[in-house]
Amino acid sequence: MFMPKRILFEKGSLDYEMAQKIYMKFKDKESIEIIHLTSNQLKQHIPGEDLYAQYREGKKTLVVGTKKSLKFQSCKPSAHYQLPLVLGCMGQCQYCYLNTQLGDKPFIRVHVNIDDIFVQAQKYIDERLPEGTLFEGAATSDPVPVEPYTNSLEKTIRFFGDNENAKFRFVTKYNDIDTLLGLAHNGHTEIRFSINTDSVINQYEQFTASRDKRIEASIKVARAGYPTGFLIAPVFIYPNWKEEYRDLLLRLRSKIPSDLVYPITFEVISHRYTTKAKNIIQQVFPDTTLPMLDEERKFKYGQFGYGKYVYPKESLEEIKQFFQKEIEELFNHKEVKYII
């Protein structure tokens, strides 16, 4: 669970039940500073002279506010729309795409006007009828560490559980999912866990749940009947990488129940970076050992028009063959969505 160092309540946010609940939970905690904002100037309340310090303080800051623009971003290719429950994440994964997206505003922002968000989601659902609509809840956040006091995912899963024309999915590196286990999800919410080898988690994924905690949580949601999947990402090539990823898959196989309704899904994504991301990472994590030597990579234009550095063709092929073979051999009831 995310325990912030400071909480900023935006003007008007305390009119909402979720904000009141957060306030009541934390108001008497001496270690937490509560700030009631009177204007939109929230950055001045988060200390830090440079990106390095702003990142570390921002990551300890919770902003409680409303989602004002209710125009949802599209979320191609993984879903039709982003569902804007939470923005930001308490994790400090060195390679995280949020480093580029959120820049000097890496704080965690929760949206308390969740009923307005559902009304808007329903409009998008109705517009697409008779086609179904898929919403992604973790496009710009990891919503799980704040779930114990927002209950946003709980409400969302109930909302989609009652909805025949829409589905919801999110991905997480955390394990605060116990409150989601007994909900009437009707198979309309897919929960994916982002996992990696211990070496990668220990080196690059600070302030996230351990590999085994994530696996334990994934087994709980699978047993609760949710469509469940694993995002193995980012995959790095390093000494012993095959042994360690095989060990990870073996561990999964030994834990996953054999009588699940839905196949376990796998998505595998090799490590890649943009020049912009690399520059930010080097400022925020000056001692990083992330492999980002351009000359060891292949430059490739992505579908969104900007270039990124991916592993060379032979390495990508090796990653593909390795995961295809291992997953095929180890798991019966599974679906490999892609290996890229």
- Contact pattern from residue 208 through residue 227 relative to ligand SF4, giving x for each residue in contact according to CB under 6 A and a dash for the rest: x-------------------
Alpha carbon distance 84, 105 (integer Å): 17
| Closest of 27, 41, 40, 34 to residue 6, by C-alpha | 34
Q: Are 59 and 90 in contact (CB under 8 A)?
A: yes
Give the shortest CB-205-to-ligand SF4 separation in angstroms.
Answer: 6
- Residue 18 to residues 28, 146, 151, 230, 314: CA-CA distances in angstroms? 17, 12, 8, 30, 50
Chain positions 92 to 131 lying near ligand SF4, rule: CB under 6 A, are 93, 96, 98
Contact call for residue 270 and ligand SF4 (CB under 6 A): no
For ligand SF4, how many residues bind (rule: CB under 6 A)? Answer: 9
Contact call for residue 267 and ligand SF4 (CB under 6 A): no
Contact call for residue 264 and ligand SF4 (CB under 6 A): no
Segment near ligand SF4 (CB under 6 A), from 76-84, 85-93, 212-220, 282-290? 85-93
What is the radius of gyration, based on Cα positions, of the chain?
Answer: 20
The 3-state DSSP class for residue 78 equals coil
Chain positions 159 to 218 lying near ligand SF4, rule: CB under 6 A, are 173, 205, 208
Q: Which is nearer to ligand SF4, 10 or 205 (CB)?
A: 205
Residue with tokens 């795409």: 97
Our separate counts of H helices and E strands in the chain read 11, 17
Chain positions 134 to 153 lying near ligand SF4, rule: CB under 6 A, are 142
Give the shortest CB-270-to-ligand SF4 separation in angstroms.
Answer: 15
Residue with tokens 């995912």: 153
What residues make contact with ligand SF4 under the rule CB under 6 A? 89, 91, 93, 96, 98, 142, 173, 205, 208
